[in-house]
Amino acid sequence: MMGAVIELDRVSFGWRERVAIRDLSGAFERGSLTAVVGPNGAGKSTLIKGIMGVLSPLRGRIRLGGDTRDDMACLPQVGELDRSFPISTYDLVAMGAWRRVGAWGRFDAAERERVWQALETVGMADFGARVIGTLSGGQLQRALFARLLLHDAQTLLLDEPFAAVDRATTEDLMALLLRWNDEGRTVIAVLHDLDMVRASFPQALLLAGQAVGWGATADVLTPENLHLARHLCAGDY
């Protein structure tokens, strides 16, 4: 099914009075695979939070095409997770089932099996009992991807999914991300590695406090656009 899953109509986002993204318009199509790129402070994480509804737009409108926010799953930046929280890897992954099970629902055998399957898929079957504070960065990111598997959402937003993870983990998790897109899910990922974006992401949104480009990756990631984005974020214009 085609059509926009998320449509932004002249949206601005900000923190207190300060505008972080100005006047953003465009759409993420159903089943699309988009990389959100831009310099530090460009507003990439702010956009993810705005789409997830954590942050309300200062101006403009966001329309969700049919899906509810329950059908969207987010992988937050690793730094936003409190790793000192005394929770096992199994329980972290099981939290992904919340949408099906509900806050007071029964976590039955089928659901438990799904958790183990997800841990297996990301190569973490032996780590279920480990407290998350003892996992390496790569292991934690694998566990968070397993949680996304449990969530089974149609739209996935990932904020720097490969930051601070080793190469083997990046390759495994990237394969999983591409599989989700092959299954018809809409995937939006904040990424820094432009070579990776060019190789695997058909669509790109280049941000620098505003959209510098949004469309086919080759058209967006031009030297001119990247130059402009750097200068906009440095406050030169």
Ligand X SMILES: Nc1ncnc2c1ncn2[C@@H]1O[C@H](COP(=O)(O)OP(=O)(O)OP(=O)(O)O)[C@@H](O)[C@H]1O
CA nearest 53: which of 101, 11, 95?
11
Q: Counting every residue, how long is the chain?
A: 237
Taking the complex as a whole, the smallest distance from the CB of residue 122 to ligand X amounts, in Å, to 24
User: Using the rule CB under 6 A, is 37 a contact of ligand X?
Assistant: no
Q: At what angle do helices 167-182 and 137-151 cross, to 10 degrees?
A: 10
User: Using the rule CB under 6 A, is 41 a contact of ligand X?
Assistant: yes
State which of residues 8, 33, 34, 45 lies at the interface with ligand X (CB under 6 A): 45
Compute how many residues bind ligand X; rule: CB under 6 A. Answer: 10
User: Using the rule CB under 6 A, is 20 a contact of ligand X?
Assistant: yes
User: Using the rule CB under 6 A, is 40 a contact of ligand X?
Assistant: yes
Taking the complex as a whole, the smallest distance from the CB of residue 166 to ligand X amounts, in Å, to 20
Taking the complex as a whole, the smallest distance from the CB of residue 59 to ligand X amounts, in Å, to 16
Pick 122 or 158: Cβ nearer ligand X? 158
What is the rounded distance in angstroms from the CA atom of residue 228 to the CA atom of residue 233? 9
User: Using the rule CB under 6 A, is 42 a contact of ligand X?
Assistant: yes
- The set of long-range contacts for 160-163, using a CB threshold of 8 Å and a minimum separation of 24, is 160/77, 160/78, 160/190, 160/191, 160/192, 161/75, 161/189, 161/190, 161/191, 162/191, 162/193, 162/196, 163/77, 163/78, 163/192
What is the rounded distance in angstroms from the CA atom of residue 194 to the CA atom of residue 197? 5
Given the rule CB under 6 A, which of 40-48, 61-69, 149-157, 168-176 is the region that contacts ligand X?
40-48
User: Using the rule CB under 6 A, is 205 a contact of ligand X?
Assistant: no
* Site residues, ligand X (CB under 6 A): 15, 20, 38, 40-46
